[in-house]
Structure 1
Amino acid sequence: MTPAPAPRPTTRALSFDAVADQYDEARPGYPPALFDAIEELAGRPLRGARVIDVGAGTGIATRLLRARGARVTAVEPGPGMAERLHRTQPAVPLLRGLGDALPLADGCADLITYAQAWHWTDPARSLPEALRVLRPGGALALWWNIADADVPWIAAQDLRIRRWADDSAHGAHSVSGRGGELPAELRPAERRVRWTRRVPLDTHLAHLGSHSIFRMRGEEATAAFLAAERAELLGLFPDGTVEEAYVVELTLTRRA
């Protein structure tokens, strides 16, 4: 089989290109427990595994997969994001492409990963493509960092963002949940991993500003919102250090 013709990425999906450096520096990574869960559910260690990181962005997940010993190839459609990935990780093989039409041969991967990226695909295309590229027994892993709405200040912030942006479909930090799921007939397994990070307030605000919901609203509107948010959060974190809390939601299925 050969890859299907690649559809064009959406304007919103490419909105991160303009802030690729900010994205890479401010976005959270993922805790070691996530990769432990991937190894458990995939039934094999990451060390030595042939991994395709789709929608790799600036390579946040790529770096962590490589640190576990995986042999990673990154796939990324955005020129700005791809340039940052190549600049910071020049040894990583990098392909320009979309999950809806992977530029890869059949059965070449032990693991395909989508970190914060599956919701930008058309599952009617991306799922058959992933199954095509996976070897028999290989695994498809999707995961998202979800801001933990059980934490009161995070829930209040999410409500402010939604009211400001009038956007219920894409929460700024994905409080609304995953962007897509795998069909039940594939018997996907799920894990939830809670974790936190402490960051300067400026990093937290840069993290918010790197999300597509802000990129699509424009610089002036975004700057005004983030200025108000700074004042709000200084009342809660007067030392200027914010403790962000996340739940990583992982879905993994193995190809027969």
Structure 2
Amino acid sequence: MTKRALSFDAVADQYDTSRPGYPPALFDAVEELAGRPLAGSRVVDVGAGTGIATRLLRERGARVIAVEPGPGMAHRLHRTLPDVPLVRGLGDALPFADGTADLITYAQSWHWTDRDRSLPEALRVLAPGGALALWWNVSDAEVPWIAAQDARIRRWAGDGAHGVHGTARGHRDLPEGLRTEERLVRWTRPVTLDTHLDNLATHSVFRMLGEEGTARFLAQERAELLTVFPDGLVDEAYAVELTVTRRAPAPPAA
């Protein structure tokens, strides 16, 4: 686990209150592609962070166990979801027995794993017919103000801050018996300018940039965005990239 991956710990509360959630349509798509309802399913939410996806999975009736390596993020998750089982661990070495999960989810977290290890681990823990669901909220670059903001971020920090890490499209040469499907779910959320800037500040590129550099950028960004949203209300637009990989079901009994 890299320093960058653990950089969210210092801003766990801000992360939980400013980061976007996920639309109901995403979970509809997860159910469709996984071939099973979330209600009653045994779900392992890996890299759960402060529990943003965990909370929504539980609201759909899933029996969720959260897995999170960062102490600050885990503390926030436990504080807000005290009844959800929480395990400190990594996706590269899941602390679960073989075949014990119907669904394993990675919300905004698969890119922090070693895929040569995390994929076999997920397949080990999944029950026959189970599914691995990976998704990312990616700011929709087809929206002009978002594209302009992304260009400013890249000029300032030499990196992007919108979660543009790609999905599991790097999954080629999957073992036999697996089926992978992808879906794109677009959605928007209205937030205050302060919440939008707080959201930006929680991304790892800014965590690594440092407090002084981040503060300078956010001050300039506030001025830029007020020319687009003079009332201080920002319409954030996202395209959720979803990939679902299914294990083959158990063979019929003889």
Q: Shorter-chain TM-score: which interval? A: over 0.9
Task: Supply the AA of the counterpart residue of 1:92.
Answer: V
| Cα offset, 1:178, TM superposition | 3.1
SS at match of 1:14: helix
Counterpart mapping for 1:87-98 below 5 A: 87-98=79-90
Task: Supply the AA of the counterpart residue of 1:182.
Answer: H
SS at match of 1:104: coil
- Check whether the contact 2:108–2:137 (CA below 8 A) recurs between aligned residues: yes
Q: In the alignment, does 2:197 pair up with 1:197?
A: no
* C-alpha separation in 1, matches of 2:168 and 2:198: 22
In structure 2, stretches of 5+ residues that fail to align are 249-254
| Cα offset, 1:174, TM superposition | 2.2
Task: Provide the residue aligned with 1:126 in structure 2.
Answer: 118
Task: Provide the residue aligned with 1:224 in structure 2.
Answer: 216
Task: Provide the residue aligned with 2:163 in structure 1.
Answer: 174
- For residues 46-77 of structure 1, the C-alpha deviation after alignment (integer angstroms, 9 at most, x for no partner) is 00000000000000000000000000000000
SS at match of 1:112: strand
Task: Provide the residue aligned with 1:153 in structure 2.
Answer: 145
- Check whether the contact 1:181–1:251 (CA below 8 A) recurs between aligned residues: no
Q: In the alignment, does 2:175 pair up with 1:183?
A: no
Counterpart mapping for 1:1-256 below 5 A: 9-167=1-159, 171-175=160-164, 177-178=166-167, 181-183=170-172, 185=174, 186-256=178-248
Q: What stretches of structure 1 move > 2 A for 4+ residues in a row? A: 174-187
| Cα offset, 1:187, TM superposition | 3.0
Q: What TM-score do the two structures reach when normalised by structure 1?
A: 0.94
- Check whether the contact 1:22–1:210 (CA below 8 A) recurs between aligned residues: yes
In structure 1, stretches of 5+ residues that fail to align are 1-8
Task: Report % sequence identity.
Answer: 78
Residues 176, 119 of structure 1: alpha-carbon distance in 2 compared, 3 angstrom cutoff: closer
| Cα offset, 1:209, TM superposition | 0.1
Q: What TM-score do the two structures reach when normalised by structure 2?
A: 0.94
* C-alpha separation in 1, matches of 2:148 and 2:165: 13
| Cα offset, 1:166, TM superposition | 1.2
How many residue pairs get aligned? The number is: 245
* C-alpha separation in 2, matches of 1:95 and 1:102: 10
Provide the alpha-carbon RMSD of the alignment. Answer: 1.1
Residues 160, 215 of structure 1: alpha-carbon distance in 2 compared, 3 angstrom cutoff: same
